[in-house]
Structure 1
Amino acid sequence: MEKYEELLLALRKVIRATDLYSKQLNKLTGLTAPQLLILREVAAAPEGITASAVAQNITLSPATVSNVIDRLEHRELIHRERSTEDRRRVVLSLTPRGAERLAAAPKPLQEDFIRKFQGLADWEQSQLLAAMQRIAAMMDAEHIDAADVLEVGSYAQQQLHRDS
């Protein structure tokens, strides 16, 4: 097998692992990985947080985050409320139902990855980072929105929403 074939196979395994996690997460909680990530961000700010702050914290576009927030609000997992101090500002908070759903959710796939990655020597972490950045560049993927949560399918869904 050629080296590029081995590399592509390894990439497919990573994609498959994230896809399996996403399916398991959805089956167990009814949430997608971006929904879980947004719920975690809202829960981490008990005084409330704006949608733009959530988008910035999780490195997704404001439009993508807004669409996910709309779905979470429709499902009564989060609540939007105008700030009493600044009527232009809308803050998000977790509903009791959202808190229950978040408490029942498994830990994100990347938590185990982070623990293992941080266990590597600094030189090996740098080497892996440089290699993945190079792969992203070779795949013309540097400008694709990506959240900290590993999940497959959200990019394709974003493209469908943009095209429609």
Structure 2
Amino acid sequence: MLMSSPKTVNANSSQTSDQAGNTDRSRSNVANNYEQVLVALRRVIRATDLHSKRLSKHVGLTGPQLLIMRTIRDLGEVTIGTIADKVSLSQATVTTILDRLEHRKLVYRVRSTKDKRKVHAHLTEEGAEILARAPNPLQEDFIQKFQSLHEWEQTMILASLQRVANMMDADDIDASPVLTVGSVLKDDGWKGKG
């Protein structure tokens, strides 16, 4: 019968202990990694929510309302279709938001004299004043920072976020590039016509 030397036994025992320690650390890192991902996601959601609340408190607008008003300001006499294309929202959503802004006397709409099928949106004086006081949309600051990254970093972030969306079964959820929490058409107390 062969007997192993005490050195061999100790070495094997030490090796087994190291492997167990590595496995424990590996499991701990995996748990720590997913927790860090969830914390990062929560921070993004929280930052978006806080910005929306700050915007609402300072100027009484939602993120999509601010984007639409800025688009009207930047493009001048503009059709609803052009606004919808620029802010990546449907024409129906833009029309509903314009109804709310018009009710608050921040915008007005005028039918085109050249083509009666077209309606142009304009800012009122009050709308322009509110817009001048409004903070930048959250995504505007993000876009500036994102565009300053190297292309490989941008691609890596995009791929990672697309993968996260897939893992959360969010591939088929329709979303515009507007950073806001909840529906783009938030309940602001306005009931519309009816």
**CA gap 1:157/1:77 in 2 versus in 1, 3 angstroms:** closer
Describe the SS at the equivalent of 1:154: coil
Does the 8 Å CA contact 2:93/2:185 hold for their aligned counterparts?
no
Query: In the alignment, which residue of structure 1 is the partner of 2:181?
Result: 152
Query: In the alignment, which residue of structure 2 is the partner of 1:66?
Result: 95
Name which of 32, 50, 55 aligns with 1:25.
55
TM-score, normalised to structure 1, is: 0.86
Alignment of 1:45-56 (within 5 A): 45-46=75-76, 48-56=77-85
Describe the SS at the equivalent of 1:73: helix
Alignment of 1:1-164 (within 5 A): 1-46=31-76, 48-154=77-183, 157=186
Q: CA deviation at 1:147?
A: 3.6
Larger radius of gyration, structure 1 or 2? 2
Describe the SS at the equivalent of 1:153: coil
Which residue identity does 1:146 align to in structure 2?
A: A
Q: 2 CA distance for matches of 1:20 and 1:54?
A: 26
* 119-128 vs 129-138, which moves further: 129-138
**CA gap 1:49/1:133 in 2 versus in 1, 3 angstroms:** same
Q: CA deviation at 1:157?
A: 4.3
Which residue identity does 2:44 align to in structure 1?
A: V
**CA gap 1:118/1:156 in 2 versus in 1, 3 angstroms:** same
Describe the SS at the equivalent of 1:81: strand
**RMSD, aligned α-carbons:** 1.9
Q: How many residues align?
A: 157
- Gapped runs of 5+ residues in structure 1? 159-164
Q: 2 CA distance for matches of 1:26 and 1:85?
A: 37
Q: CA deviation at 1:156?
A: 8.1
**CA gap 1:145/1:59 in 2 versus in 1, 3 angstroms:** farther
Q: CA deviation at 1:144?
A: 3.5
Question: Can you list the C-alpha shifts for 1:40-84, whole angstroms capped at 9, x where unaligned?
Answer: 1111122x1111221111111222212111100101111111000
- Gapped runs of 5+ residues in structure 2? 1-30, 188-194
